[in-house]
Amino acid sequence: MSKPASLTTQQLVEIVENQQAPLVDVRPIEAYNGWQLKGEARGGHIPGARNIPLKWTRYMDWIEVLDEKGIRKESPVVLYGYSEEETEEMAGRLYDLGYKEVSVYNHFVDEWTSDPSRRLERLPRYKDLVYPGWVDALVSGEKPEGMEGDRFVICHSHYDHIEDYYKGHIPGAIPVDTNSLESTETWNRRSPEELEESLTALGIDNHTTVILYGRFASPDFESEAFPGKSAGHLGAIRSAALMLYAGVKDVKILNGGITSWEIDGYSISTEEVKPEPVDSFGAEIPGRPDLMIDTPQAKQLIESEKGELVSIRSWEEFIGNSSGYHYIEKRGRIPGAIFGNCGSDAYHMENYRNFDHTMREFHEVASAWNDGGISPEKKVAFYCGTGWRGSEAFMNAWLMGWPRVSVYDGGWYEWCSDPENPIETGNPEPSRLTAAMGDEEMN
């Protein structure tokens, strides 16, 4: 195997400025997002770099990622990471796949991050998207970077399926049923009084640091009647949005859910942990009412030139071939909404996640939204059938620091329940589509 060429900092600057080759960051996604894992002076990634963590090469699926991110065999590729060992290992993987022109940059830590004049980009709210090592430090009694205050609660999310918690959870985590935060009749958020009752019973006040995670779909839990019961991590993200709305100031999500915890080799507990209730939430609920809107506000948004209502549903749902749910009869979409393309069906979010279930590279999500006319300059509300998928898209925008984002909480379920509300079916105008994140589903 040939040894890849090693670049100097100046050579890399010229390549980046002239866009001579794609740049690939092989570090873990948490480092790419902004966490400083190896004592580097500054966190983040080199502008324009794509993230393909070396750990992904353990899986067959990673080869498809190269094509998705535009890393072609016929073009030169530049790799960088924390060490010479990992960049050369990734180079070897690429050589094995038939890549010819692979170069490495091994001065990211000692020269790039240590020089304030060298630009770095990062996920604006990266501290709210934590990783297994961060949670382990917290469980072990440390106070890791980004921890606000002294009290924390780790929440293992499930939807009416406590057995998921008993199967195994992060040590110290308590079970949280999504039904305690949203109505089982309407799927909307519960009343302020009910939210306060639920949160204080869980030991959560407005200053508690809350870390949420769940388990992804598994045949062990799958139910034909309730296929979403196993989607605990999507429920965790839904719960995160609701807690932010309620006014919890420090809400964090474990990126990749319990899957990432297990992949990194951390232990699982089956010991039940009881919550320690608090007397008061400490503030009026909702603390952030702007993060959830209802049908009247959704209608105003559709009419506004400064806002967008974004449908985080599958294409089959959007054009009216499927309602998406066994309990929703009507099919179609809200007129004027933009297609935000969740993935294959009502219970999946492939277009917002990597194959290891971590959140998709934020530049990719922002680019796809921008192509569809969705930008941080606008007031944007995301919706789906009953709020879960819309909440995940919302959390992506929240983590990116978008200033005016919300969830249309009632979504399709509430909209179609009112016979006075208009409904559209069939193919919409091309301008109402996002241009990326799974275009093949539209064809």
Which residues have a catalytic role annotated?
A: 384
Q: How is 338-360 classified by DSSP, letter by letter? A: EE----SSTT--GGGB-TTSSBP
The sign of the torsion formed by the CA atoms of 437, 131, 176, 208 equals negative
Angle, alpha carbons 220-221-227 (nearest 5°) = 135
d(CA 307, CA 18): 35
d(CA 26, CA 327): 44
Tokens 């609660």 sit on residue: 153
DSSP state of 80: E
Assess contact for 234 and 388: CB atoms under 8 A.
Answer: yes
Strand, coil or helix: 251:
strand
DSSP state of 34: T
DSSP state of 323: -
Assess contact for 104 and 21: CB atoms under 8 A.
Answer: no
Element (H, E) at 156: strand 152-158
d(CA 187, CA 116): 48
Strand, coil or helix: 168:
coil
Angle, alpha carbons 285-239-28 (nearest 5°) = 130
Question: Taking Cα atoms as reference points, which of 224, 363, 372 lies closest to residue 310?
Answer: 372
d(CA 413, CA 384): 8
